[in-house]
Amino acid sequence: MKTNKYIIYLLTIVLLLPLSSCDDDFLEFYPEDKITSANFPQNEEDIKLLLNGVYALMRERSIYNEGLFGFGVLDGATPNAFNWGNTPIARAGTGQLNSSDGSIVNFRWTRSYAIIFRANYLLQALDQVDIPEEDKSIYRAEARFLRGLAYSILAEGFGGVPIILTAISTEEARNISRASREETWDQVMADYNMAIDNLQAEAPELGRATKGAALGMKMRALLYQGKYEEVLQVINEIDALNKYGLFPSYEGLFRLENENNMEVIFDIQYISGENSQGSLHDQYCGTGTGSWTRGSRYVPTDDLVNAYEMIDGSEVDPNNPYEGRDPRLEFTVVVPGAYILGYRFPNYEYPGGAFNHPGNRLKHLSARKYRIEPEADLPPSGQSGLNNIVLRYADVILSKAEAIIETNGDIDEAINLINRIRTEREDVKISPLPMGLSQEEARAKLRHERRIEFALEGLYWSDIKRWGIGSEIYPVEVKDHNGNVIETKFPDGYLDFYQLLPIPDSEISLNENLTQNPGW
Amino acid sequence: MFSRRSEPPKEGLTQVDAGTSGIQGEGNMNGFRIFSYFGRANYTLMSKYLFEANVRADASSRFSKANRWGVFPGFSAGWRLSEEDFIKNVSAISNLKLRASWGQLGNQNISGYWPYLTVIGQNNNLSYSYNGSFSPGAAVTALVDENITWETSSSLDIGLEVGVLDDRITLEADYFRKTTKDILVQLPIPSVMGGISSPFENVGQMENNGIEFILNYNNLKFGRDQLGFNMGFNLTYIQNEVTKFRGGDSPDQLYLLREGYSFRTLYGYKAIGIYQSDDEALEHMHANPFTPKAGNLKYEDLNNDGRLNYEDKMALGNTLPKYTFGISPSFKYKGFDLNLLFQGILGVNMYTQNNFTDLDWENRMISTRWRDAWSPENPDAENPSLKFNNPWDSHQSSYWVNEVNFIKLKNVQLGYSFPTPMVEKLGLQKIYLYVNGQNIFSIASDGYEGYDPERNTFNAGYRVYPTPRILSAGINLNF
C-alpha cells in the first residue's frame, strides 16, 4: 500500500499531562457561606453553637401534629380534649392509629433520634476542642440531659428502642436492633445521673438545663417506671436544692410575665421576633375573635369539664354548671358565657363573640391555658413567645404523694401534699381532702387531682397508660352542644396494644432487625 | 440576592438606596468547577474504513481530592460498504454503512455543590433562645459519603445506515447497550440517624438495552412549482434493568431502586377495588390496627395476614418510557411550506397524587373525577368515598398510577416565501411569512389527569408549571 492512499486526520494528540499541578488550585474550591467539618469545631463558641442546635429540637413548630411534648394537643389523645381533623394524635386516642402514620408516630421517633444524633455529635466534638474541663463537663452534662430526655420519650412512647451513643454509619443504622424497655430506661437513668452529678443548681443562662431539671426529669422517668421508692429519694434531692415552690397564682403560671418563675423546673423557651424562635401554639390552638380565625386544634371536652369539683365539695348545679367550680376550670377552659380576648364565647350564643375554628365541630368549649391575652398583645403568626412548661414543682408534690400512696406509706402525709395543691395558691382554694382515707381512696383522689392540675399540659396520656386505666375509662363519647356525638374514643373499649405506639412502618421496612410492637 | 430598606425620606423614591431604615440583605453564591483534558484522533482508510479514538479526563470539585478524576475513553469504527465494488454496482443502493462504537462517559451532575463535605448548618431553625435572648445554633443536617466519585456509563452501539434510490429513503438502525455503574443516588436512611438527609452514594449498576430506528423519506422535489414531501419517523425502544444494587437489599420507596427491577419502578399497594360494606372491610383487614370502612379503597393483602403493611407492597409499573417516537411530515408547494412535528411516548406509568387529584391536601381544589365518588347510592364508582383527612386512601398505591401513552403535536409551522423576482424588485433577498404553534394538543390515554403528559415521571405532578402553548406569527426579511 502506498502512503498517498492514506488520508490521515490527526486533529489532536492526546496529551495526558500528569494529573496534578496547576489544576489543583483551580479545583480546591470550598464554600464560603457555610461551616464545614474542615474547620469545625475549634473553640468554645463552636461548642455553644452545637449545644443550641440540640436545644433547638425542643421547640415544636407545627404543634398540632407533632407531639414530642405536645401539651394540650397531646391531651387530644385522651378524654380531656378533642383534636379536630382526625389527626394521628387524635387517632392515638380513638383506636384508629396506623403504623404508617406520620405525625406522632414518625415525628416522635425521628425527633427523639435527632436529639440523640445531635447530642452524640456534641459529645464527640467536645473531645476535639481545648476548653477548660469544668466548662466541658457542663456541656457534656447538658448533652447527656437532652439525650436522656429523648430516650425517656422513646421508652415511654415505644418501649425498648435501638440505643445509639456514638456516631453510627448508615449501614449500622440499617441493622440495629431494639434494646429492651428496661435497658432503654437504664440508658435514660445513666444520662440523667451523669447530668445531675455535673450540672449546677443555676444554669449559665436561664432556660438551659440545671441540676434541678435533671433531678426532676429523673423523678418523672422513675415515676413512669413505677419505681416509687426511688421517686421519693430523688424528691428529697430536689427539695434539698431549696429552689422550687408553688407559684402563688395558677392562672399566672402560664403567662408571659411570669416565665421562669419558681415553679418552673424545665421548660421550652420561646421568644417572639424576627429570628423565628416563636411558637405557633397560640395561632394553631387558640380561639377565634372578631374576623380572625384561629386553629382551635384542640379543645377541652365535657368529660374534662365535668371532672372539676365544686369549691365547697357540693354537687354541681345542673342549671348553673359553671358557678362555684374549682377555679382551675376557668383558668384552663373557656366555658360558655366566659370572655376571652374581650369577646364573649361562643358566638352561636353571643353574636359577634369568640368562636372555635369552623372546622371544629365542638363549638361550646375552648382552651384557655397557655393563651396570650389581652388581644393587643397577640403576637404575629408563629411568633408566640410564651414558654411551654415541661415540668413544674406541682408535679414534684403530686409525684411524692403518689409514691407515698403506692408504697403504702403515711397516707395522711400524701393527702396533705394533695391539699397543698388544693389550698396553697392564692387563686386556687378548694375544700381540702379529709384525713384517714384508705390507700384505695387516696389513690383515686391523687389520680383525679393530677388530671385536673395538669389538664391540657400533655401529661394525662402517659398517666392513663401507666395507671392502666384505659379499660375503666373508655369508651368516651365526645358530644357537641346539641348532644350529637362527634367522636367516640375507643368505641369498642380500650385496646391494650395502645400502651405502646407502633414503630414507624417506614423504619421497619429499612431494617429487618427491628421488630414491631405486639398488636400493630 | 435580597435587599431591603424602608422609609424613604420622600414619597416617590423607589430605589433601595433611598431607604433610611430597616436595612436588610441576604444572598450568597455557590458554584462548582470542572477541569478537563480532551483528545481525539480520526483515521480514514480508502474512504471505506473509518476509525476514531478519543479520551477525556475530567475532574470535578464535587468530589474530594482523591476521587476527583475520571478518565473516559471511546473508540469507534465504520465500514462504508457502499464504497466496496460489490455494492457500488447495485444502483438502488446509494449508501450502506456499518458502524460500531464503544465509549465511556462520566456523570457528576447531582444536586448540591459539595456533596462530599460535611456541612454544619447554621440558621434560625437550628437556633434557640434563653430567657428572651436569641442564641444562634448549628448542627449537621445532612450525611455525606466522602468517597463518592464519578458515575460511569459505558455504551456499546452497533448500527447500520442504508440509503436507497438516491437517498430518497434512508434508514438508520442501531442496537445499543448502555451499562451505568456507580450510580450516584440518595437512598432513604433509617430515622434513627435523626431524620437528617441521606448521603449521595455510588451504588448499583443498571443496563439499558435498546434499539433505535430513524426512517426518512424525501421525494427529492425541490422546485418551487413541485410538490415537495418529506416524512421522518423515529422510534426508540429501551429496556431498563437495575442489575446490581446493594446485593438485593434495598429500601422500599415509591420510586424503587432494586435489583431486577427497572430504574425507579413505582412501588406500593395494589388497589383492587372499593369496599362495599363495613363488614367486607373488617373481614379483609381483620388484623389491621385501623379498620377501613365501606367506600375506602381495598388493597391487595399479598401475604393474607389481614393487615396492611410494607410487606404488601409490590411493583406498580415502570416510570422510564418503553417507547418514544416522533413523526415529522413536511410539505412544500409554490412557496408554501408546512412542517409538523409529533412526539409521543408509549408504555410509561405516571404517579399522580397532588393537590388536584387527592382530596387530602391543603389546597382543596379538586378535579372533576371526584364527581364519581363511592357512596351507598353509587356503588360502582371509580373513586373511593369523598372525605377529608383520609390517610387510608392516600396510601401510595396503584390507585394513583396510570399507564400513559400519548402523542402530542409539538410544533407546527406554516410559511410562505414570496417569489424571488418580486422580492428582488424590492431590493431584498428573501421575504418569508410564517405562523408557528408549539404544544398545540396532546392525546393521552384515558384516565390520565393533569396538565401536559410530557412531564417528569419521577414525581407526583405536584407544583408542575404547565407547558405553555405558544402561537407566534412572523416575517423574515433578508437583505
Per residue of chain A (520 residues), give pLDDT as tens. Answer: 333 334 333 333 334 444 445 566 788 777 777 788 777 888 999 999 999 999 999 998 877 888 899 899 999 999 999 999 888 999 999 998 888 888 899 999 999 999 999 999 999 999 999 999 999 999 999 999 999 999 999 999 999 999 999 988 888 999 999 999 999 999 999 999 999 999 999 999 999 999 999 999 999 999 999 999 999 999 999 999 999 999 999 999 999 999 999 999 999 999 988 788 999 999 999 999 988 899 999 999 999 999 999 999 999 999 999 999 999 999 999 999 999 999 999 999 999 999 999 989 999 999 999 999 998 888 888 889 999 999 999 999 999 999 999 999 999 999 999 999 999 999 999 999 999 999 999 999 999 999 999 999 999 999 999 999 999 999 999 999 999 999 999 998 999 999 999 999 889 988 989 999 998 8
Distance from CA of A389 to the nearest CA of B (A): 13
CA distance A277 to A380: 12
CB–CB of B251 and A101 under 8 A? no
Compute the distance between CA of residue B292 and CA of residue A249 in angstroms, rounded to an integer: 47
Q: How far is CA A501 from the centre of its chain?
A: 15
* Residue type (1 letter), A256: L
C-alpha dihedral (A410, A411, A415, A416), degrees to nearest 10: -20
**Is B389 in Cβ contact with A85 (below 8 Å)?**
yes
Q: Are A78 and A461 in contact (CB under 8 A)?
A: yes
CB atoms inside a 10 Å sphere around CB B205: 17
Residues 6 or more apart whose CB falls under 8 angstroms from that of B203 comprise: B182, B183, B185, B187, B245, B246
How close does chain B come to A442, measured CA to CA in Å? Answer: 36
Distance CA B442, CA B202 (A): 38
Work out the number of other CB atoms within 10 angstroms of the CB of residue B30.
11
Which of A6, A30, A91, A117 should one mutate to test binding to chain B, selecting the residue with the greatest count of B CBs within 10 A? Answer: A117
Residue type, B425: K
In B, residues 136-165, which contact A (CB 8 Å cutoff)?
Answer: 136-140, 143
Cis peptide before A475 (omega within 30 of 0): yes
Q: Are A422 and A433 in contact (CB under 8 A)?
A: yes
Q: Is B248 on the interface with A (CB under 8 A)?
A: no
What crossing angle do the helices spanning A133-158 and A103-126 adopt, rounded to 10°? 160
Chain B closest CA to A406's CA: distance in Å?
33
B456 class by beta-carbon count within 10 Å (0-12 exposed, 13-18 middle, 19+ buried) = exposed
Are B190 and A174 within 8 A, CB to CB? Answer: yes
pLDDT one-digit tens code per residue, B404-461: 899 999 999 999 998 888 888 888 888 999 999 999 988 888 778 777 788 777 777 7
Query: Given B126, B143, B290, which is nearest A96 (Cβ)?
Result: B290
Contacts of B394 (CB under 8 A, 6+ apart): B353, B358, B360
Return the residue of B nearest to A203 by Cα.
B130
Element spanning A171, H or E:
helix A170-173
CB-based contacts of B177: which residues, under 8 Å, 6+ apart? Answer: B155, B156, B157, B207, B208, B209, B210
Cβ distance of A52 and B252 shorter than 8 Å = no
Which of the 8 DSSP states describes residue A159? S
| Single-letter amino acid code for the residue at B385 | S
ipTM, 2 dp = 0.90
Compute the nearest-CA separation of A361 from chain B (Å): 14
The reply to whether A106 touches chain B by the CB within 8 Å rule is: yes
For residues B401 and B80, give the distance between their C-alpha atoms in angstroms, rounded to a whole number: 47
CB B179 within 8 A of CB B207: yes
**Each residue's pLDDT tens digit, B104-161:** 999 998 887 888 888 888 888 999 999 999 999 999 988 888 889 999 999 999 999 9
Tell which of A178, A277, A383, A488 to mutate to test the B interface (max B CBs under 10 Å): A277
B41 CB-near residues (< 8 Å, 6+ apart): A9, A10, A11, A12, A13, A14, B52, B53, B54
Residue A4: which residues within 8 A CB-CB, separation 6 or more?
A: none
Q: Residue B343's CB: how many other CB atoms inside 10 A?
A: 18
Interface subset of B 304-363, CB within 8 angstroms of A: 309-310
A354 contacts A340 by C-beta, under 8 angstroms: yes
Contacts of A501 (CB under 8 A, 6+ apart): A92, A97, A104, A105, A108, A157, A158, A517
Q: Could you give the CA distance from residue B149 to residue B134 in angstroms, rounded to a whole number?
A: 40
Distance from CA of B245 to the nearest CA of A (A): 14
Q: What is the DSSP letter of B367?
A: -
